[in-house]
Amino acid sequence: MPAGADQPKFDYINGPAGVLEDFRLRKLPPIVIYVAIVGAVLSWIPLALIFRARYNTSTEPRIHFFQDMDNQTKFRPQDDNPLFADNRAMRPAVAGAVARGQLNEDDHFVNGYSLVTASNGSQEPQFFNRFPQSVQAQLDDPATAQALLLRGQNRFNIYCAACHGQDGQGKGPIHLRADELTRNGVQGMQWVAPSNLVDQDRRNRPDGHIYNTITNGIRNMGSYASQIAPADRWAIVAYVRTLQFAQSAKPEAVPADKQDVLK
Amino acid sequence: MNASKRKRFLFPRWVNFALPVLIVAVLGGGLYAPTLVTFGFSSSTIDVGYAPIQPVAYSHALHAGELGIDCRYCHSSVENAGFAAIPTTQVCMGCHTSVRNVSEKLKPVQESWETGKPIEWVKVHDLPDYAFFNHSAHVNSGVGCVSCHGRVDTMEVVYQAERLSMSWCIDCHRNPEKHLRPRDQVTNMQYKPEAKEGESELAAQLRVGKEIKEKYKIHDEAYMTSCSTCHR
């Protein structure tokens, strides 16, 4: 005999005390409805925030959920380090320090001039009017000359053309803009028009003089030593010479097999 | 009080609604939670669009866009070094000693020039420190600036335009031909490969990209997706 079989069957509907519940389907209690509505409305807020974040820029620092080892306690180039008064993690070279490959023994290659003692006893720079040997060797070899000039053109168009123009005539976009600002009477303009690099003055300049101008600047023009390496400066000098030649060349100077281009 | 008089607890009638409500809640929540996590944690949401306030109100839109100064004029180390250096104050002062040198916006630059204290620009594109990234390797392989940095030449204030997440890196490492261009076009922000007649832009890019991949000897997929290529 199964357990409980002798007990009276429980009347689930009426129970021991009769009907306890009516059969009308009552509505949900208001609190449940309110919570559901508020929840449904609030659930849109994160979505709206995400939408806003995806379609806008923000000056706030990025949210970084998982740090992992993303930000390590080490210094990368141009990081800041509060240990030093100037906040630089990269330390400027100590005076007199020579980095590897930067011994710069060759005056001609590195400076474009050598110091000679003038008649009054002072040290005067004398510019070399030729290319350093290593550069001249590249120019003499047709196999490397084109590469050198193309490199010069590439560097010229990056660093020089902004002011001097791609043709070297001194009508680059920066000059045009500065000129316009000056004419409009904008405050703080002391613009001096960039030189025409292909005029007779510049043709007469020694190679070393042009090199030195790139290295140390001249008049209005600042130094480009930090942006252009010495070898590239010489490549630019070679390209400036090319521009000067090309813009005064006679049609006969074009090789016979390229004469078609002129027609 | 005896047991039979004690009121038994019966669930109220409205509990009959609980099941459909629960089903709706579970289905809705089941959609809602993954949506929230997928989009909320996505780098497109939390990383892209970061545009910190810089110490100088410098406009790339003016300098790189309108005036057309090449990226490398200022970021001159990008072709030779892993790090594309932020220009020194000297580079700014190269022009701005004689251009608008009384402008209020230039004050921090002039101060830095006089004191020798560097301007503390805020880094916008910041990869995790365990990711090895080398600018020169990319630029010299024909990856354009715009591929990772967006149209900086139109930005008044620089913001992060791309996700810079690992999956984003890997996408290109798997299919570099989608993004490669000739080296002399690397800093061209509007470069489009020349399409042959009847060729779509994408098809032209893939054709040019494949040629360049061959020409610049870009590594194969196995190398490009190897862990130690980027995590050294």
**Cβ <8 Å between B76 and A24:** no
Q: Could you tell me if residue A66 is inside a domain?
A: no
Residue A154 is assigned to a structural domain of this protein: yes
User: Given this model, what pLDDT does residue A22 score?
Assistant: 53
Asked if residue A46 is part of any domain, the answer here is no
Evaluate whether residue A234 is within a structural domain: yes
Is B8 in CB contact (< 8 Å) with chain A? yes
pLDDT of residue A161: 94
**Considering CB atoms only, which of B68, B76, B118 is closest to A86?**
B118
Q: For residue A42, what is the enclosing H or E element?
A: helix A30-42
**What average pLDDT is seen over chain A?**
86
Mean pLDDT for the stretch of residues A235-256: 89
Give the alpha-carbon dihedral of A142, A144, A148, A151, to 10 degrees: 120
Question: Given this model, what pLDDT does residue B156 score?
Answer: 95
Structural domain containing residue A182:
133-249
Q: Do B118 and A87 touch (CB under 8 A)?
A: yes
Q: In this predicted structure, what is the pLDDT of residue A11?
A: 62
Q: How far is A119 from chain B (nearest CA, A)?
A: 35
The whole-number mean pLDDT for each consecutive block of 10 residues of chain B, a chain of 232 residues, reads 60 79 90 93 92 96 95 95 93 92 93 92 93 95 96 96 94 95 95 91 94 95 95 92
DSSP A27: P
d(C-alpha B111, C-alpha B127), whole Å: 30
Which phi and psi angles does A35 have, rounded to 5°? Answer: -60, -40
Q: Which residues lie closer than 8 Å to A95 by C-beta, 6 or more apart?
A: none
- CA separation for the pair A231, A132 (Å, rounded): 10
* In-domain check, residue A142: yes
**Where along chain B do its domains lie?**
49-86+121-230
**pTM for the predicted model, two decimal places:** 0.86
Look at residue A99 in the predicted model and tell me its pLDDT: 86
C-beta of residue B148 within 8 angstroms of C-beta of residue B48: no
Mean pLDDT within A192-207: 90
pLDDT at A245 over 70: yes
Segment 190-229 of chain B within 8 Å of chain A by CB = none
DSSP state letters, B36-73: HHHHHSSHHHHTTTB-PPPSS---HIIIIIIS---HHH
Mutant choice from A23, A28, A219 vs B, greatest count of B C-beta within 10 A: A28
Q: Is residue A73 part of a domain?
A: no
Q: Which residue of A has its CA nearest to B159?
A: A57
The per-residue pLDDT for A19 is 52
Say yes or no: B102 contacts chain A, CB-CB below 8 A: yes
pLDDT at A12: 61
pLDDT for B1 equals 46
Number of domains in chain A: 1
Of the residues A20, A34, A49, A57, the best mutation for testing chain B's interface (the one with the most B CB atoms within 10 Å of its CB) is: A57
* Contact assignment for A65 to B41 by CB distance below 8 Å: yes
Residue A155's domain is classified under what CATH number? 1.10.760.10
Q: What is the arithmetic mean of pLDDT over A123-149?
A: 90
Q: Where are the alpha helices (DSSP H) in chain B?
A: 18-40, 43-46, 60, 71-74, 89-96, 107-115, 135-139, 145-149, 166-174, 201-215, 221-224, 227-230
The residue ranges of DSSP E strands in chain A, in sequence order, are: 113-117, 123-127
